[in-house]
Every structure is written in structure tokens, then in C-alpha cells.
Amino acid sequence: MGIEISSLTVHGALDALSGGECSSEELVRDVVAEIAKRDAEVGAYVSVDEELALEQARAADAARSAGKCGRLLGVPIAIKDVLNVEGQSCTCGSKILEGYTSPYDATAIAKLRAEGAVFLGRANMDEFAMGSTTQNSAYKVTHNPWNLDCVPGGSSGGSAAAVAAGEAIAALGTDTGGSIRQPASFCGCVGLKPSYGRISRYGLVAFASSLDQIGPITKNVRDAALLCEVMSGVDKMDSSSMDEPIPQLAVDLPADLKGVTLGLPKEYFVDGMDDDVRRGVMAAVEKCRELGAEIKEVSLPHTKYAVSTYYIIATAEASANLARFDGVRYGKRAEGATDPIDMYGKTRAEGFGAEVKRRIILGTYVLSSGYYDAYYLSAQKVRTLIRQDFEKVFEDCDALLAPVTPSPAYRIGENLDDPLQMYLGDICTVTANLAGICGLSVPCAMTESGLPVGLQILGPAFKEENILKVGHAYEQARGDMPLPEILKR
């Protein structure tokens, strides 16, 4: 076909398709060939539906020939295995949903389908989005394309690894406490967590309903803007979706940052931060200053309570949401049960993995009689204080700059037996979910060991244009990043 798939962006694919350089069918075949070449090593996908993708591609080619258009017409993307796509499995990385087939499209999927997107397959993930490494999947461990001995992040690790490894032009992920931004940072991709309520959650299997948000993982900021724009909007099927104006996010992205004020929250530059991460982020801050931005130090004083607050609220909501997986209605049902209660217990014991069980137990505890006020109610009060911290700094700042994580990707198996240490790695990301604001991860540097580092850009609720403009201007000034070695074989 003559097009380099590994570096092909959504906009590049659209240009190639509209210019007649390739057909959607050829594009899908080439991406599937890339998956066949290296996914045995990377493990980004749970499943690839080549025939269905080719069928959708041929329909897109026919529509284009007939003069019809769509903002994503013929572009193949990967879907995190927590979003319902009609006729496909939706395992959520769990044995408890083995055999389940989605009877409907999630609203975000329906909007992508209406614009002509092609769905490649199901990207691997931590079970029920509970994890930061994609080691908690019941099906496989996903490897980081930059170093196959390292984790890709999580819980959207399969989505980020697919994009980084050239196995997808773009992908969908979900972000409950950093699950788009952190794997995007670990894998050298762009990851956008939209504001809570910007994109409908209908059809997203819930982990924590007040925190979950769907968003894109892409190769550049402009692609993330387009996918966010397509999926945005109020939805009668999701009462938490907001009827906010949808700006044209993918156009009018500036080349400089003149007149922009960016805050540098001192609480995010924590003790123990990896030196390469600190240097990379601070170099990006200086680049933004060179582009004309005013940089000022700000304080978000309640950040120190964020991780504990998050893990109370998130686990409480998970405990309630996952009660529906009981062996009665869909998915796995344990054999040999003597009565419904025994069947319920055995199904959940066999179907859920260790991390999911840990969070259900914790969530049930903080909601239990005698502990609700001490834990859950107190956490909700602190959540309000965290949101107010952001509201105060955004009175004077258009956006904030921070690291995505305190460290680059670590080795597979590291921290696996120390969940508390893994939870503490979420310190820079969970605050955005607690406050409902938007956040963006953009690659900014490489460590001495050759792993990517991400710059996090945080903006006010429903001001995605703020963070996308900053991210795009920085990205253009930064120049091209290297590609993983796996793509050079």
C-alpha cells in the first residue's frame, strides 16, 4: 500500500482514504498484518474480528464511492474490552463474563459507528478496569512495546500498547483514576480523559460510576481531539451526561501559547519522583514558557488525601456495581452449587480475580454499618475540598502542568505483591477523576533506559479546548519522538 502503518495517524489515514491512496479494506488488512506480526509478543488484544472489520471496511469504501462522508469513515480503531459493541464479546478482562455477547452498542460506539469508524477488536485490560499494569487480566499479560519486560500501564494497557506497537491507528480506553493517561504515558501515546459527563457512559461496564469516563488513546493531540468531539454530547440513556456545547476541538489548534497562564502544582512534584521523569516534565514546562505561556506555581493542598479518598469512593462504588455479576443473569455460572446462595458465592469466587475481590471487600467494608460515616461520607467531603482546590487555581490559570506518574514503566511482576505501593503511583492522576475535570497525557521525554515520559495537562471541567491547545502547541514545538525498537524489526 505504500503507507507506513506504525506512524499513521487518524488524520493521515483520512487524508489517504479521501485522496485515493488506499481503500479502507487495504488499510484494515495492513493493520491486521501488523497485529499478526507482533501481537504474540505484545499481547495488546484479547480478540481480533478480522472478518467483521473487513465487512465494515468494505461498507465504508462503498459509502465513500457513493459520495457519502463521515468524520472517521473507514478508519480502524481498537476498543477496550469494557465497552459494549453489538455482536462482540465484552469480557472486561474477567472470567465471570466469559461467553457474554453484547446485545447493543454503547453510545460512544454508536457515535463512532455513525461516523464510519471500523472496529478492529477487543483490547486487553486489567479486570473490570481495576489495576495500573494490565497484569490483572484473566486472559493474558500485555507487554510494553518499548520494553517487553515492562508493563504498559493500565487499566487501558492493551489500548495503549496497540497504538504504540502500530497495531491500531487509535484506540478507546476508559479512565477511572488515570487508566487512559497513565498507560498513554508509559507507552509514549497521547491519552485524553474528558470531563465527567462530556461523553455518555451508557454501554460502559461500570467500575465506579461517579469517576468513570471514556476517552481516546492516539498518536497525536489532533487525533484525540477529533475522537473526543465525535463521542461527546448529552445522552438520554445516561443521566450524568451533560448538555454542554461541543466545541470543534480538532480545529484552530494554535502554534504558540501567548496569553496562556499555566499553573505548576507543587504537590505533584513528590519526593521520590524518578529523576528522568522530573527532568523530562520540567523541560516540557520550559518549552511551554518559550512558547509564550506564563508559568506560575500553585498549590492544591488537599492532594495529599487524594489516593485514600479515591480508594474509598472507587471501591465503594465497585462493590455496588459488581453485585450484578452473580451467575443468575449472564456470564459465568459455577457448577455444583446446592442452592442459589451457594451458586452466587461459588460463581463470584471462581469468576473474580484477586484484585477485584480485594476492592469489593474494601468497598463493602467502607459502606457497612458503623463505618459509612467514618470512611465513605468523610471521603465525599474531602472530594469536595479537592474539587474546590482546582476551582480556585483555575480562576487564575488556563491549565495545569504536571507529571502523569512519579515513575516510568516498571518491570512486569514488580509491585504485584505490594498493592499499596501500586496505588500510590496514582497520586498525580486520581485527583482529576475526583474533581470531574479533564486531563491529557502527551509524550515529553525519554528516560536513559529508553522508556517514554508523559506530560500531564489538566484543565477545568468542559474546557477540553484549553488542554488540547496547550498539548498541540507543545507537541509541535517538541518535534517527533522516537519509535519503539519493536517497530524497527
pLDDT band for position 272 (cuts 50, 70, 90): confident
Q: Taking each helix axis as running N to C, give the angle between helix 221-231 and helix 10-18, from 0 to 180 degrees, rounded to the nearest 10.
A: 80
**Which of 89, 137, 156, 179 is labelled catalytic?**
179
In tens, the pLDDT along 67-124 reads 999 999 999 999 999 999 999 999 999 999 998 999 999 999 999 999 999 999 999 9
**Which of 23, 24, 80, 89 is labelled catalytic?**
80
- Cβ density class 87-115: b for 16+ within 10 Å, e for less: ebbbbbbbbbbeebebeebbbbbbbbbeb
Is 179 a known active-site residue?
yes
Instruction: Please say if the pLDDT value at position 343 is more than 80.
Output: yes
Q: Taking each helix axis as running N to C, give the angle between helix 24-42 and helix 50-65, from 0 to 180 degrees, rounded to the nearest 10.
A: 150
Give the mean model confidence (pLDDT) for residues 361-371: 95
pLDDT at 460: 98
Look up residue 268 and give its three cell numbers: 505533584
In tens, the pLDDT along 193-228 reads 999 999 999 999 999 999 999 999 999 999 999 999
Dist. CA 193–CA 346, nearest whole Å: 36
In tens, the pLDDT along 453-474 reads 999 999 999 999 999 999 999 9
Compute CA 210 distance to the chain's CA centroid, rounded to the nearest angstrom: 16
270 vs 452, more confident: 452
- Cβ density class 271-299: b for 16+ within 10 Å, e for less: eebbebbeebbbebbebbeebebbbeebe
Q: End-to-end alpha-carbon separation of the chain, Å?
A: 19
- Going by C-alpha positions, the residue among 318, 319, 306 that lies closest to residue 430 is 306
Residue 212 and residue 174 in contact, taking contact as beta carbons nearer than 8 Å: yes
Residues 6 or more apart in contact with residue 487 via CB below 8 angstroms: 6, 145, 165, 166
pLDDT band for position 50 (cuts 50, 70, 90): very high
- Which of 164-168, 345-349, 422-426 has the weakest average pLDDT? 422-426
pLDDT band for position 423 (cuts 50, 70, 90): low
- Burial degree of 317 (CB within 10 A; 0-12, 13-18, 19+): buried
For residue 93, how many C-alpha atoms fall within 13 Å in the half-sphere facing its CB?
34
Dist. CA 257–CA 330, nearest whole Å: 51
Question: Is residue 286 classed as helix, strand or coil in its secondary structure?
Answer: helix
Domain boundaries, the chain: 5-301+387-483
% of residues, the chain, pLDDT over 70:
99
Element (H, E) at 46: strand 45-48
pLDDT at 414: 87
Dist. CA 446–CA 343, nearest whole Å: 50
Instruction: Please say if the pLDDT value at position 9 is more than 90.
Output: yes
pLDDT at 420: 64
Instruction: Please say if the pLDDT value at position 489 is more than 80.
Output: no
Instruction: Please say if the pLDDT value at position 417 is more than 90.
Output: no
Q: What backbone phi and psi angles, to 5 degrees, belong to 185?
A: -65, -45
Amino acid making up residue 243: D
Give the mean model confidence (pLDDT) for residues 13-31: 97
Is 155 a known active-site residue?
yes
Domain 5-301+387-483, CATH number (from 2.60.120.10, 3.40.50.2300, 3.90.1300.10, 3.30.230.10): 3.90.1300.10
pLDDT band for position 2 (cuts 50, 70, 90): low
Is 463 a known active-site residue?
no
Instruction: Please say if the pLDDT value at position 341 is more than 60.
Output: yes
Residues 6 or more apart in contact with residue 20 via CB below 8 angstroms: none
Asked if residue 155 has a cis previous peptide bond (ω within 30° of 0), the answer is: yes
Residue 75 and residue 169 in contact, taking contact as beta carbons nearer than 8 Å: yes
Dist. CA 54–CA 51, nearest whole Å: 5
Residue 313 and residue 211 in contact, taking contact as beta carbons nearer than 8 Å: yes
Report the mean per-residue pLDDT for the chain.
Answer: 96
pLDDT at 6: 87
Instruction: Please say if the pLDDT value at position 1 is more than 80.
Output: no
pLDDT at 425: 83
Residue 88 and residue 120 in contact, taking contact as beta carbons nearer than 8 Å: no
Give the mean model confidence (pLDDT) for residues 341-352: 95
3-state SS of 60-92? HHHHHHCCCCCCCCCCEEEEECCECCCCCECCC
For residue 297, what are the β-bridge partners? 264
- Going by C-alpha positions, the residue among 182, 94, 171, 82 that lies closest to residue 132 is 182
Question: Is residue 458 classed as helix, strand or coil in its secondary structure?
Answer: strand
In tens, the pLDDT along 382-408 reads 999 999 999 999 999 999 999 999 999
Dist. CA 218–CA 233, nearest whole Å: 20
Centre a 10 Å sphere on the Cβ of residue 48 and count the other Cβ atoms it contains: 21
| Angle of CA points 11, 432, 413, to nearest 5° | 85
Helices (H), 188-235: 221-231
Helix (H), strand (E) counts: the chain: 15, 11
Residue 142 and residue 152 in contact, taking contact as beta carbons nearer than 8 Å: yes
**pTM exceeds 0.85:** yes
Residue 274 and residue 446 in contact, taking contact as beta carbons nearer than 8 Å: no
